[in-house]
Amino acid sequence: MIWLTWRQFRAQALIGLAALAALAIFLVILGMRIRGTYDANVTDCGTTCSVTNARDIMEDTYFGTLLLAGLLIVLVPALLGAFWGAPLVAREIETGTYRLVWNQSITRTRWLAVKLTFVTLAGVALAGAFSLLLTWAASPYDKLLTARFEPLIFPTRNIVPLGYAAFAVTAGIVIGLLIRRTIPAMAVTLAVFAALQILVPTFLRPHLQPPVTETVAFTADTTVSEFSTGGPTNKGVSINGYGSAVPGSWMLSGRVPLLDAAGNQATRDTIDGCLKGDFRRDMACVAQQNMHFEVKYQPASRYWTFQWLEFGAYLLLGGLLAGFAFWRVRRGLS
């Protein structure tokens, strides 16, 4: 059965390997260039260089490319689900060959087990190779910009792509088994994967562990990226972008209100006296008014926990789908 699975899978495997080779060349070159930039601006740079400067240079040069590469890494499991998973059973049903292979001296359960395991492992290996290459290539960038926990980067590094691949391939197989036609199954698999890639970071990932709530006193040293004194309808003062004060964390709060000692939101009138024109002196003035704000975030120390949790969640979902497929295939076609 392993021979037959390989024989049927051969062409797809070769295409996957070719894509891996092409992407590997690209990522190795990218990785070398990133290391070059890092060395030039951090390691080998003398006293003239600042971390902030290096950070800006790194971001300007590589943000776009790495974003694109990251998109590819998330696309890979989706494509594996559609091109490796969905046709696995659907094609046999569509072409009628299930009536040949289900009559060989092998139970349907074992038939599915070999095919499913083989292709899922192959998919996980491929996604793993891609992820390994990208994580390696981008590691100086990630070290400098400490943004790896953020929603745009988190799914593209380390081990979660393997979980995505395991889920996508298994989902493709089950959808193919239920829909019984290859093209619609491919489309549905892509849709399901895309839906999860939107739903999980929005509703599940933030709550994998209860977020840390921190009350931050607004002092002269507090660094925020945005200080808003409200608009015509909303007179409240709010701040945004506290994340840089907690590097490597995942800031869940966006814009939060600035609160006075009693817990009420400061309004423009409250701090009007401080706004004289010089940003630094104005902030120092506001700082003396005993204000604070609350942020929710996932601390950097939880990054790997979250990687494993999300990997495990996708793996579990894939496992449940596989279990369903085995149950369903036992009783034959209809």
Which residues sit at the interface with another protein, rule CB under 8 A?
Answer: 1, 3-4, 7-8, 95-108, 110, 331-334
Least Cβ distance, residue 96 to another protein (angstroms)? 4
Give the Cα separation of 43 and 38 in Å (integer).
7
Least Cβ distance, residue 20 to another protein (angstroms)? 23
Reported as type and span, the H/E element at residue 110 is: helix 108-145
HEC profile for 199-243?
Answer: HHHHHHHHHCCCCEEEEEECCCCCCCCEEECCCCCCCECEEECHH
What is the total residue count of the chain? 334
Nearer to another protein, 3 or 203 (CB): 3
Q: Are 29 and 142 in contact (CB under 8 A)?
A: no
43-52's contacts with Cβ under 8 Å and 24+ in sequence apart are 51/144
* Residues contacting residue 78 through CB under 8 Å, at least 6 positions apart: 164, 168, 189, 190, 193, 194, 197
Give the Cα separation of 11 and 216 in Å (integer).
57
Degrees to nearest 5, angle at CA 273 with 270 and 279: 105
Q: Are 8 and 113 in contact (CB under 8 A)?
A: no
Least Cβ distance, residue 91 to another protein (angstroms)? 10
Least Cβ distance, residue 3 to another protein (angstroms)? 5
Least Cβ distance, residue 113 to another protein (angstroms)? 13
Reported as type and span, the H/E element at residue 155 is: none
Nearer to another protein, 110 or 281 (CB): 110
Nearer to another protein, 22 or 100 (CB): 100
Residue 50 is classified by DSSP as -
Using CA atoms, how far residue 207 sits from 107, 189, 210, in Å, is: 42, 26, 6
Nearer to another protein, 52 or 105 (CB): 105
Q: How many helices (H) and strands (E) does the chain have?
A: 10, 6
Nearer to another protein, 4 or 75 (CB): 4
Instruction: At 180, list the tokens.
Output: 């019984």
Least Cβ distance, residue 250 to another protein (angstroms)? 48
Nearer to another protein, 109 or 290 (CB): 109
Least Cβ distance, residue 95 to another protein (angstroms)? 7
What one-letter code names the amino acid at 203?
Answer: F
Nearer to another protein, 4 or 19 (CB): 4
Least Cβ distance, residue 179 to another protein (angstroms)? 17
Least Cβ distance, residue 333 to another protein (angstroms)? 5
Nearer to another protein, 105 or 233 (CB): 105
Using CA atoms, how far residue 58 sits from 61, 134, 218, in Å, is: 5, 16, 30
Count CB-CB contacts under 10 A for residue 99. Answer: 11
Nearer to another protein, 14 or 217 (CB): 14
